[in-house]
């Protein structure tokens, strides 16, 4: 009888524990999963369509022909503050609107309930100074997507091009915004942290999609106002490039998260 | 050997990868063992075990080497591949302009007699070809510091439309189509293959080995072979230390900094120098202080090769320095610009500068094209 009692107590306790866990929503998640991050390029609430024009708050009308940027060093944080850092040697991605490459796929993410996402825009000096070995195939990809900055022997973090008109520039005029670090003298790599609003749940069976919206309007018309009528080609400007870097890192918001098998948007 | 390869240069974060790496290493070790076993029967194959590491010279009178040799240790086959690439016109759009076309060994790897670098289709650049001697001891490259890593430097001339006018991708395609190159890349690197990383590593290995350290001056300061300097050379050395060595520091004869030395800008070019990289007007007309090693061989002088002789250079520092907001303060003493020099002092300085010529370096067969 005694042993039966013991066993029943154990069963009871186990049930209690299990039910407690369920209530907390901390059901055991195991294994690893894939996290997809969609970079949905837009302009101030409208879908970005290359070749279409958008008017900003500075009354400049931009026809965007190219929007490519490098995103890197992804980190996912759960509600307890545990951080998963994506491996640096696989952690650099070039997104390109014209090539339709707007999704970043993070492999082998440990099971968990993640509540915030951090990533960088561009390539940090630590990575650059690893030399040939550290760049892996990023240089190859950068060259094929117009993101290699050959006369700086480095990377364009952002390549934003098209034409514009304004009250003072009435003929459609090319604009080119290339932003990156300026050799060893100015580091324009910036990171951004976004609260996911809800949980992105990762496990052996669960591979979430984090749907971000990137508001390209922010690049020139964000926290800092950059007038194309004043200067339409900005590549290495000690004053404007850091402002563009800040605007660009601030263009991302979390739109929604799909939890599930990771197939459906 | 495999362990060494994977140790190099990776900053790892996160517990997952720390587990992954040893596994990966183990797998590679197994694969290499299998490959090695297969290939021991194949006489054409250059076994990796034969790819011995080369020793890199760090002369006792030099500052420490900046280049991280452990991240890319020069090896026999890596160096040979780097040299093959260095002298191959395939790296340019028209197939004729190699690195060695402008960087000629007998002139300490400069383009003697050419004010500007010449590129494909007779195009001309706006700057004078700098020497490649002792690059592993520097942290900024090109006249304006367009890169701060030696590995990534070759991208600049290869992709410059007035120099080699190519894309890296196209160069690699040409090399991939060549079985000799495929073999050479596989022999040089444990993770073989014709790719950006191995391409840049090989050229860097070739450059890292280019250490010029056996001039008359070096032997004198190291007390080697009873070498002495003449009285005039010693006077020149003394003047140099008093009047030149605040920028041309150490036995590299450069502090690697960017400075405006007061050259009147060429109005046809108006090259802003460092400001083109930094975007800062504070850097207008600043250029990297060049090393003076083998300086007697590297005419013409200055970033734009405007001066044909050392005499003209010294005359400029005596009389030609032009004031501007970014002029280096060391060249401005009250209202006096430049460096006061008498004719005798100039003669002595030139005598001293000639002791920096390193015949062993310019005749070193390891670096020779033929």
Please state the ipTM of this predicted complex: 0.77
* Lowest-confidence region among A26-35, A188-197, A218-227: A26-35
List the beta strands (DSSP E) in chain B. 258-259, 287-288, 332-333, 336-337
Q: Testing the interface with B: which of A114, A118, A153, A180 to mutate, by most B Cβ within 10 A?
A: A153
The CATH class of the B216-360 domain is: mainly alpha
Phi, psi of B248 (to 5 degrees): -85, 70
Q: What is the mean pLDDT of residues A87-113?
A: 96
- Residue A131's domain comprises 30-258
Between chains, do A184 and B148 touch, taking CB under 8 Å as contact? yes
B153 vs B25, more confident:
B153
**pLDDT at position A6:** 56
Contacts of B20 in chain A (CB under 8 A): 87
Residue in chain A closest to B73 (alpha carbons) equals A133
Contacts of A151 in chain B (CB under 8 A): 146, 156, 159-160, 276
**pLDDT at position A260:** 86
**pLDDT at position B113:** 81
Q: What are the boundaries of each domain within chain B?
A: 1-45, 56-211, 216-360
Could you tell me if residue A212 is inside a domain?
A: yes
Is pLDDT above 90 for B75?
Answer: yes
Element (DSSP H or E) covering residue A11? helix A2-24
* Angle of the B179-188 helix axis to the B76-86 helix axis, nearest 10: 140
* Lowest-confidence region among A24-38, A243-257, B157-171, B338-352: A24-38
The A residues from 227 to 256 touching B (CB cutoff 8 Å) are 236-239, 241
| B56-211 matches B216-360 in fold | yes
Could you tell me if residue A20 is inside a domain?
A: no
Could you tell me if residue A12 is inside a domain?
A: no
Q: Please indicate if any CB of chain A lies within 8 Å of the CB of B113.
A: no
Give the minimum alpha-carbon distance from B139 to chain A in angstroms, rounded to a whole number.
10
Is pLDDT above 60 for B46?
Answer: no
Q: What topology is assigned to B56-211 in CATH? A: Cytochrome Bc1 Complex; Chain D, domain 2 (1.10.760)
The residue with tokens 């080119």 is A176
Q: How many domains does chain A have?
A: 1
CB-nearest partner of B10 from A89, A150, A185: A89
Could you tell me if residue A43 is inside a domain?
A: yes
Q: What is the mean pLDDT of residues A14-29?
A: 52
Could you tell me if residue A146 is inside a domain?
A: yes
Spatial distance between the Cα atoms of B252 and B228, rounded to a whole number of angstroms: 20
pLDDT band at B186 (very low <50, low <70, confident <90, very high): very high
Between chains, do A151 and B156 touch, taking CB under 8 Å as contact? yes
Cβ pairs bridging A and B (under 8 Å) = 142
Give the minimum alpha-carbon distance from B82 to chain A in angstroms, rounded to a whole number.
13
Average pLDDT score, chain A: 90
**pLDDT at position B19:** 30
pLDDT digits (tens, 9 = 90+) for B292-321: 999 999 999 999 999 999 999 999 999 999
Report yes or no: A119 and A192 within 8 Å, Cβ to Cβ: yes
Is pLDDT above 50 for B10?
Answer: no
Contacts of A143 in chain B (CB under 8 A): 167-169
**pLDDT at position B135:** 97
Is pLDDT above 80 for B130?
Answer: yes
pLDDT digits (tens, 9 = 90+) for A142-170: 999 999 987 777 899 999 999 999 999 99
Q: What is the mean pLDDT of residues B107-118?
A: 86
**pLDDT at position A27:** 65
pTM: 0.82
Q: Testing the interface with B: which of A78, A107, A112, A133 to mutate, by most B Cβ within 10 A?
A: A133
Is pLDDT above 90 for B14?
Answer: no
Spatial distance between the Cα atoms of B299 and A247, rounded to a whole number of angstroms: 47
Is pLDDT above 70 for B264?
Answer: yes
């Amino acid at each position: 009888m005694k042993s039966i009692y013991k066993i029943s107590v154990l069963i009871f306790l186990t049930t209690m524990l299990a039910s407690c866990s369920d209530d907390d929503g901390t059901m055991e998640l195991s294994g690893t999963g894939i996290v997809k991050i969609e970079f949905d390029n837009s302009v101030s609430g409208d879908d970005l369509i290359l070749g279409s024009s958008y008017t900003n708050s500075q009354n400049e009308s931009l026809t965007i022909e190219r929007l490519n940027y490098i995103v890197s060093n992804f980190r996912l944080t759960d509600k307890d503050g545990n951080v998963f850092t994506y491996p640096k040697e696989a952690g650099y991605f070039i997104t390109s609107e014209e090539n339709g490459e707007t999704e970043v796929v993070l492999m082998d993410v440990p099971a968990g309930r993640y509540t915030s996402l951090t990533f960088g825009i561009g390539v940090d000096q630590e990575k650059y100074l690893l030399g040939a070995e550290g760049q892996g195939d990023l240089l190859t990809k950068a060259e094929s997507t117009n993101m290699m900055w050959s006369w700086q022997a480095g990377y364009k973090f952002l390549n934003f091009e098209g034409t514009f008109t304004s009250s003072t520039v009435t003929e459609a005029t090319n604009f080119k915004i290339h932003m990156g670090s300026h050799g060893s003298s100015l580091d324009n790599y910036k990171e951004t942290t976004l609260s996911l609003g809800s949980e992105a749940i990762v496990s052996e069976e669960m591979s979430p999609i984090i749907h971000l919206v990137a508001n390209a309007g922010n690049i020139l018309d964000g926290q800092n106002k950059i007038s194309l009528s004043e200067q339409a080609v900005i590549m290495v400007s000690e004053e404007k490039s850091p402002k563009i870097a800040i605007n660009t890192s601030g263009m991302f918001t979390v739109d929604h998260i799909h939890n599930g098998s990771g197939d459906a948007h | 050997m495999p362990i060494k390869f994977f140790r190099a240069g990776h900053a790892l974060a996160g517990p997952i990868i720390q587990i992954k790496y040893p596994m990966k290493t183990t797998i590679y070790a197994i694969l290499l063992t299998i490959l090695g076993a297969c290939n021991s029967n194949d006489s054409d194959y250059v076994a990796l075990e034969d790819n011995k590491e080369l020793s890199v010279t760090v002369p006792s009178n030099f500052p420490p080497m900046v280049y991280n040799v452990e991240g890319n240790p020069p090896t026999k086959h890596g160096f040979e591949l780097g040299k093959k690439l260095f002298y191959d016109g395939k790296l340019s759009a028209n197939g004729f302009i190699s690195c060695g076309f402008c960087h000629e060994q007998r002139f300490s790897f400069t383009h003697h007699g050419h004010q500007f670098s010449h590129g494909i289709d007779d195009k001309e650049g706006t700057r004078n070809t700098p020497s490649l001697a002792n690059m592993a001891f520097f942290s900024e490259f090109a006249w304006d510091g367009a890169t701060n890593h030696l590995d990534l430097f070759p991208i600049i001339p290869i992709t410059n439309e007035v120099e080699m006018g190519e894309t890296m991708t196209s160069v690699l395609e040409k090399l991939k189509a060549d079985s000799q190159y495929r073999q050479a890349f596989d022999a040089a690197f444990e993770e073989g293959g014709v790719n950006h990383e191995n391409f840049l590593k090989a050229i860097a290995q070739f450059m890292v080995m280019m250490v010029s350290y056996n001039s008359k001056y070096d032997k004198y300061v190291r007390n080697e072979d009873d070498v002495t300097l003449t009285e005039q050379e010693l006077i020149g050395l003394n003047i140099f230390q008093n009047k030149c060595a605040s920028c041309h520091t150490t036995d590299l004869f450069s502090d690697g900094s960017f400075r405006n030395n007061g050259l009147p800008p060429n109005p046809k070019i108006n090259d802003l120098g460092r400001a083109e990289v930094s975007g800062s007007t504070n850097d207008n007309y600043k250029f990297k202080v060049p090393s003076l090693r083998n300086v007697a061989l590297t005419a013409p002088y200055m970033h734009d090769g405007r001066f044909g002789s050392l005499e003209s250079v010294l005359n400029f520092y005596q009389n030609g320095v032009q004031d501007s907001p970014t002029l280096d303060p060391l060249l401005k003493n009250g209202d006096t610009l430049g460096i006061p020099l008498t004719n005798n002092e100039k003669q002595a300085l030139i005598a001293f500068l000639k002791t920096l010529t390193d015949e062993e370096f310019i005749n070193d067969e390891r670096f020779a094209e033929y």
